[in-house]
């Protein structure tokens, strides 16, 4: 690895402390707090993020999960409905559907992008399908042309989950602005972060108004706020929940957004370095972007292995071996949603589960072959690694070749691990 440490994450941007100090001294630490005669930190961030996205509307939230919840609620998804979600993604994409008392319908992925397969989405549509959630996963963008066409053909709105894709573009336009709504997470591990936070962007003013009310207990912004009183007023048309982003998080995000373009540029440069190092190496293939991706971001650098080149072992075993050799934090991707340890719908009595088709709730009976295969064959590297000096990756090809040569010992390690995990 050389004589340097891997970059720490999160890292505060240049003006983060200044912005925090301004909020701490402002007399307003939350959006419902007393208006001080000037825009809140939340409103300033919303305007700047909307401008960055090229979207007319941005509604910040407490986190990415709440962003997904209000996006579904704003699109009138509820009890008895179905929402199509990818089988390979974080658990929140299913739990948020359950949170609005709809059924998550898990579909298989496109092996080229690791995102939801348009053909699988089309097959999963029923008369109860009320929304399609696509996730731009790791460093990929889903096939938006095909998926949006499916949604339009069936009259079903598409929600883009861009929690891995802050700044990515499709045909020159930011992802998140193509569907009915685009949701973002600003959790600690994300490309743009304040520890926690989220946002929804959209094109439609009426939808933005509904989103605003849904995240602020049903309240709207007062047309003529009075200094010393709350800027939010109970002039509402929908019941909401308190998902307002704090002023402190908004202040941090306002600074972090300044640093994002340069960080994304640096990550893309280093991703190209790794691509070049791996291009002649047998048994490993970087996951490529579709040609319509005009700006690619890297939440996780992803590479697919030929398991035969590694003695048939899984990506989990290979990732541990490569981490031991290089110090780089390799990981296998998420397990399929229906096997995710955090997906436990029946532990929540508030969900309306009676009468639902178990095959829909628990995932397809036959599983999702490409999702299962990706969990066994894909290695990922978290994005802070791509902010390291480019020489951090020089030893990677040699390490991969060494791990391949030692395939027999990897098989023994994996076999022993399976045996120790088997109940007596």
Which are the catalytic amino acids?
A: 190
In 192-308, DSSP assigns E strands to: 198-202, 220-221, 232-233, 284-286, 293-295, 300-305
Q: How many residues does the chain have?
A: 424
- List, in order, residues 6 or more apart from 236 with CB less than 8 Å away: 213, 218, 219, 220
> Which residue shows structure tokens 């959630």?
133
Contact 101, 72 (CB under 8 A): no
| Coil vs helix vs strand at 269 | helix
| Coil vs helix vs strand at 136 | coil
Q: How far is CA 285 from CA 155, 230, 325, in A?
A: 37, 55, 19
d(CA 56, CA 201): 8
Instruction: Compute how many other C-beta atoms are within 10 angstroms of the C-beta atom of residue 340.
Output: 18
H or E stretch including 259? helix 247-278
Q: Is 380 left (phi over 0), alpha (psi -120 to 50) or beta?
A: beta
Instruction: Compute how many other C-beta atoms are within 10 angstroms of the C-beta atom of residue 382.
Output: 17
| Coil vs helix vs strand at 348 | coil
Q: How far is CA 277 from CA 61, 129, 265, 280, 404, in A?
A: 40, 44, 19, 7, 16
Residue-wise over 189-222: b if at least 16 C-beta within 10 A, else e?
A: ebbbbbebbbbbbbeeeebbbbbbbbbbbbbbbe
d(CA 202, CA 56): 7
d(CA 206, CA 424): 59
The DSSP output letter for 376 is H
**Closest by CA position to 50, among listed 196, 237, 253:** 253
């Amino acid at each position: 690895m050389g004589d340097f440490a891997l970059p720490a994450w999160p890292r505060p941007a240049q003006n983060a402390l200044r912005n925090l100090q301004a909020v701490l001294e402002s007399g307003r630490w939350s959006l419902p707090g007393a208006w001080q005669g000037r825009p809140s930190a939340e409103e300033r961030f919303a305007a700047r993020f909307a401008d960055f996205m090229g979207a007319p509307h941005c509604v910040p939230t407490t986190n990415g999960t709440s962003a997904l919840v209000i996006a579904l609620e704003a699109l009138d998804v509820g009890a008895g409905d179905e929402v199509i979600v990818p089988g390979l993604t974080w658990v929140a994409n299913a739990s948020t559907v359950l949170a609005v008392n709809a059924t998550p319908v898990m579909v298989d992925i496109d092996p080229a992008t690791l995102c939801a397969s348009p053909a699988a989405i089309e097959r999963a549509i029923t008369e109860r399908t009320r929304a399609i959630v696509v996730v731009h996963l790791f460093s990929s963008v889903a096939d938006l042309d095909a998926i949006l066409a499916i949604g339009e053909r069936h009259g079903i709105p598409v929600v883009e989950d861009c929690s891995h894709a802050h700044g990515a573009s499709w045909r020159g336009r930011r992802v998140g602005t193509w569907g009915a709504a685009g949701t973002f997470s600003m959790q600690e591990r994300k490309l743009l972060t304040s520890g926690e936070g989220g946002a929804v962007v959209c094109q439609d003013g009426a939808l933005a108004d509904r989103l605003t009310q849904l995240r602020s207990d049903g309240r709207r912004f007062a047309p003529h706020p009075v200094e010393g009183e709350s800027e939010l007023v109970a002039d509402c048309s929908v019941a909401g929940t308190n998902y307002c982003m704090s002023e402190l998080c908004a202040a941090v995000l306002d600074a972090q957004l300044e640093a994002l373009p340069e960080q994304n540029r640096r990550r893309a440069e280093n991703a190209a370095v790794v691509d070049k190092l791996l291009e002649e190496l047998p048994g490993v293939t970087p996951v490529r972007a579709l040609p319509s991706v005009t700006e690619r971001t890297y939440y996780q650098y992803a590479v697919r292995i030929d398991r035969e080149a590694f003695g048939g072992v899984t990506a989990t075993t290979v990732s541990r071996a490569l981490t031991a050799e290089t110090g780089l934090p390799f990981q296998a991707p998420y397990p399929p949603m229906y096997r995710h340890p955090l997906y436990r719908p029946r532990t929540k009595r508030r969900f309306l589960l009676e009468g639902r088709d178990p095959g829909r709730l628990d995932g397809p009976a036959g599983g999702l072959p490409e999702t299962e295969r990706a969990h066994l064959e894909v290695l990922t590297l978290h994005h802070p690694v791509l902010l390291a000096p480019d020489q951090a990756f020089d030893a990677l090809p040699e390490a991969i070749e060494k791990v391949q040569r030692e395939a027999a010992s990897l098989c023994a390690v994996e076999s022993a691990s399976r045996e120790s995990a088997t109940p007596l």
